[in-house]
Amino acid sequence: MQQNTTDGANVGLHTRWSRRLLGLVAILALVNFVVDSAIGAPLIVLPEMLDHFGTDQAAWLNATAMLAGVMWAPLLGKSADIYGKRRVLVLTLLISCVGALICAVAPTMWIFVIGRMLQGAALAAMFLSVAIVRTVCTPRLAMIIVGIVTTGTAILNVASRFLVEKLATEFGFQILFLISAAVAVAMAVCVRFLVPESLVKTPGRLDISGALLLGGGLLGVLGYISMGPDLGWSAVGPLALLLGGVVALVRWFTVSSRKADPLIDIANLGKPLLLTLLVVFLGAGSYQSMLQLIPLISDISADQNLGYGLGGRGSVALLLAAPAVGVMLGGPVAGWLGTRIGPARTLAGAVMLGTVATIGMFLGASQLVAALCFAFLLGVTVAALGASGFNMAGDLASAQRQGVVSSLVMVMVSTGAVVFDFVGAAVLASTTVVADGETVNSATGVFSYIAIATAAFAIAAVVVVLLVRTTRPQRRMPAPKPERQAVETHA
pLDDT at 221: 86
**Cβ atoms of residues 282 and 460 within 8 Å:** yes
DSSP letter string, 9-34: --TTSB-S--HHHHHHHHHHHHHHHH
In three-state secondary structure terms, 433 is strand
pLDDT at 314: 57
> Could you tell me the pTM of the whole model?
0.83
Low-confidence ranges of the chain (pLDDT < 70): 1-12, 56-59, 155, 161, 230, 312-317, 473-491
Phi-psi region of 432 (alpha: psi -120 to 50; beta: other; left: phi over 0): beta
Within 299-401, residue ranges assigned H as helices are 316-341, 343-364, 368-396
Sign of CA dihedral 39, 43, 44, 48: positive
**Cβ atoms of residues 60 and 112 within 8 Å:** no
Q: What is the C-alpha to C-alpha distance for residues 223 and 245, in angstroms, rounded to an integer?
A: 9
Q: What is the C-alpha to C-alpha distance for residues 344 and 127, in angstroms, rounded to an integer?
A: 19
Sign of CA dihedral 69, 71, 74, 76: negative
Closest CA to 60 of 287, 285, 235: 235
pLDDT at 7: 42
Closest CA to 95 of 73, 84, 199: 73
What distances in angstroms separate CA 318 from CA 204, 207, 325, 327, 447, one per listed residue? 50, 46, 11, 15, 22
pLDDT at 317: 67
pLDDT at 390: 92
pLDDT at 292: 80
Please provide the size of the chain in residues: 491
